[in-house]
Structure 1
Amino acid sequence: MPKDAAVEEFARLVRALKARDGRSYEALGRRLNVSASTLHRYCSAATVPEDFAVVDRLAVLCGADAEQRRTLEEAWALADRARRPPAPEPEPAPEPRPAADPASEPARASDPACGSGPVSGPAGARLPVPVSAAGPVRQPEDGPEATAAVAGDAPRRLPSGPGRRRWWRVGLVLGALAVVGAVTLGAVLLDGRSGEREAPAAPAVPPPPLTWTVASHIWTNGCGHTYLAERSPGPPPEAADARSWAASRGAVHGGEMLVRLSVQGKGTAAVVLQGLHVRVVGRGTPLPWTGYRMDDGCGGAVTPRRFEVDLDRPRPVARALDGYDASGQEGRTIPAVSFPYKVTAAEPEELLVFARTADCDCRWYLELEWSSEGRSGTTRITDEEGRPFRISGTAGGTVAYDTAKGRWITVSESGQSG
């Protein structure tokens, strides 16, 4: 298979997995511990992952069976080989040159181009040094200070007597200090490298045996909600567009918010959900912004079972509440969720968490406690962007949207009370 065809076939299979799952690059990337841009490069054939593990996790997350995972692994192997550059061909070894016979080479005399000095002849005898054009080499004269000279150079005066011995001692001391410093530096570097080699690698932490999705812009019964905004946000959105609408205007949940958490196991083994805990990471005074009510309130036939969180308490807890189904003639109570209970890949569970506050600008998240096959842990649940949830009390009052007038009006203007 050609290189480009192998990579494109692998990318096509990855795109098919993502399309079947339906989640965004950001949502899938958070669960695979890769960035959205990296996952997009896999799907667009711009690159191939270094190993198959991340692709296998994607296949499990998207519900691929064993045969589909084997087909995906074979496609990845072909694409991985195709993307690697070919190995360079080894260079031919140079032909051996015949050894020169020293006895067959003529003796070379001193050549000014190569420097003057004694040169060994064929038998190893030293040849005489030719006399320089500047004259014969002068021998050092006797006296308190000796003079050294070379052919053609001006004489250099070397210290003699006590001065010569003093410089000799200084040179010896400096040489010894240089050797000690070099040895010490080498020992430090070797110890550091040895420590790095011997340091044990941190054990790899396996991913949790469950996966989850969250939606934090759920309106009560699909119609009622309040957002706080610093400036007038324009007409209210449809419930399905609330997340992007709020993000573009910097809006914050006002007074109440509903979080829908969907939890699913990754395989056939059951994952036991042990509890749901609330963690508040920031408290401030309520925002002085105006609250914009999306409607005048509405009701529904079914009130689903849910967890209620009062963020104004010093230590908030998720308290399970009953639901109610009024669609029948007599209606019926939907029992509250009680921990522990289990989920698998084929049996997911949906949790609804209703949070409220009047006196706080709160940032908070959830911790889902689980256990499975001898392992246990907690999974942090945050909003769609991976940040803590945020909700503030409505200290600045609320307004509603008048569709007939096309503007936001106060309760007194609407003629309603309460």
Structure 2
Amino acid sequence: MAGAGAGGGPRSSGQRPAPAARRRAVVLAGVGVAAALVSAALAANLLSGRDHGLPAGAPSTGAVDHRPAETSPSASKTADAKGGSASPSASRGGSPSASAPASGSAARGGDAGPARGGGSEDGAGAPAVAVNPYKWEDPCSQHYLVDQQPEQVPPPPGEPDARGWVTALGGVAGGEQMLALTVQGTGRATVVLEDLHVRVVEKSAPLAWNDFAMGVGCGGGVGTAAFGVDLDAGRPALSPKAGQRDFPYKVSESDPEVFYVFADARAHNVSWYLELDWSSGDRHGTVRIDDEGRPFRTSGNLGRPAYSHPLGSSEWGPAQPG
């Protein structure tokens, strides 16, 4: 949010202060003092404004619109998702943008969540990103590590209910975690998605918890715009899967793009998030993508006691090899 102000100092008797030219200025105080002997009035108006920007060196927690300061002050607009979050900021013509709720969902029945950009009728700001960190490639592909014994763990959920099941048990994705990102422009102009980066917050030994497999029977795979990342690597980076092309991509309000990210961890417990670089004309910025303000968590599950819940069974049992 930005503002500018102008003001004048005290003037001599007989002069009237000129009107102060200002834009969204905040009048802090006005003081009038009368002096004896002479019926002359002296008035002083103090006008001041302050331009609030992102503190230097502050960590990126959302999208920042980087435009020349002299032409377009920016105002923050934040939205987040039930399944993930990102906080873009953008404005046009110096008009502050209204704050969106801190939590929301692109589709309330699922686990995807939007991160709204600061677009306008004729331009585009940060793209909106709906994040689903509880996506499954097929019914039996996903594993979760839980720090409880099998008799204390309820039956596996379906994919739409995975968030509630995992959250209630304090679970963590085991071995691999799949994310679905739906990216959409917020104005008429095209937004270029320059690159998608992996940022590791913390890396430690794998969790010594029990491994629970979701579902039984395996299905097909995911087809388009799929990217993989080895979280065990010294500098994890996304790479296209199955012949998919790499960034950049283009999106608009009427032409969104869906990306699938497969994060793999075998030897570590990793806390991480994504950053999406974007540009549109002279605007550019970065959207942070995470799990409702928290990093994603993926832990290796090799050698952990593994359990499955076959169809028709009333309890968890040891998973069969293979």
Instruction: Sort the TM-score into its range (normalised by shorter chain).
Output: 0.5 to 0.7
Q: What pairs with 1:101-180 in structure 2 (closer than 5 Å)? A: none
Q: How does 1:30-45 map to 2 (within 5 A)?
A: 31=87
The answer for the alignment partner of 2:277 in structure 1 is 369
What is the distance in 1 between the residues matched to 2:147 and 2:84?
33
Which residue does the alignment assign to 1:18? Answer: none
Counterpart of 1:243 in 2: which secondary structure? Answer: helix
Matched, 1:259 2:144: no
Shift of 1:403: 3.6
Distance in 2, Cα, partners of 1:382 & 1:227? 18
Q: Using a 3 Å threshold, how does the CA distance of structure 1 residues 291 and 277 change in structure 2: closer, same or farther? A: same
CA distance in 2, matches of 1:389, 1:28: 9
User: Corresponding residue for 1:229?
Assistant: 146
Cα distance in 2, alignment partners of residues 210 and 337 from structure 1: 20
Q: CA deviation at 1:52?
A: 7.8
Pick from 289, 294, 299: which aligns with 1:392?
Answer: 299
- For 1:391 and 1:307, locate their aligned partners in 2 and report how far apart those are by CA, in whole Å: 16
**Partner of 1:341 in structure 2?**
249
Correspondences of 1:212-223 after superposition (within 5 Å) = 212-223=129-140
Aligned CA RMSD, in angstroms, stands at 3.4
SS at match of 1:291: strand
Deviations 1:318-377 (A, max 9, x none): 00112xxxxxxxxxxxx5132212111111111100011111010001111111111222
- Name the one with the larger helix percent: 1
Q: How does 1:194-209 map to 2 (within 5 A)?
A: 208-209=125-126
Give distance in 2, aligned partners of 1:293 and 1:234. Answer: 12
Change (3 A) 1:387 1:65: closer
- Distance in 1 of aligned mates of 2:158 and 2:286: 35
How far is the alpha carbon of 1:417 from its aligned partner? 3.3
CA distance change for structure 1 residues 348 and 63 in 2, over 3 Å: closer, same or farther?
A: farther
Distance 1:208-1:312 versus aligned 2 partners, 3 A rule: same
2:258: which partner in 1? 350
Checking the alignment, whether the CA contact within 8 Å between 2:86 and 2:289 is kept in structure 1 is no
CA distance in 1, matches of 2:120, 2:200: 40
Give TM-score scaled by structure 1 length.
Answer: 0.47
Q: Find the residue that maps to 1:241 and give its secondary structure.
A: helix
1:362 & 1:29 partners in 2: Cα distance? 19
Instruction: Normalising by structure 2, report the TM-score.
Output: 0.61
Q: Which runs of 5+ in 1 are unaligned?
A: 1-22, 34-50, 67-206, 323-334
How many Å apart are 1:267 and its aligned residue? 0.5
Distance 1:262 1:211 in 2: 8
**What is the deviation of 1:30?**
6.2
Which amino acid in structure 1 is aligned with residue 97 of structure 2?
A: A
By how many angstroms is 1:243 displaced?
Answer: 0.4
Unaligned runs of 5+ in 2: 1-78, 90-94, 105-115
1:56 CA drift (Å): 9.6
Name the aligned partner's letter for residue 165 of structure 2.
W
In the alignment of these two chains, the number of paired residues is: 221
Change (3 A) 1:53 1:314: closer
Q: 2:201, 2:272 within 8 Å by CA — same for their partners in 1?
A: yes
| 257 and 372 in structure 1: CA distance in 2 versus 1, 3 angstrom threshold | same
Aligned to 1:54, what secondary structure does the other structure show?
Answer: coil
Q: Is the 8 A contact 2:191 2:280 kept in 1?
A: yes
Which residue of 1 is the match for residue 8 of structure 2? Answer: none
Amino acid at match of 1:311: L
Higher strand share: 2
Structure of higher RCO (CA pairs closer than 8 Å, 6+ residues apart): 2
Query: What is aligned with 1:291?
Result: 211
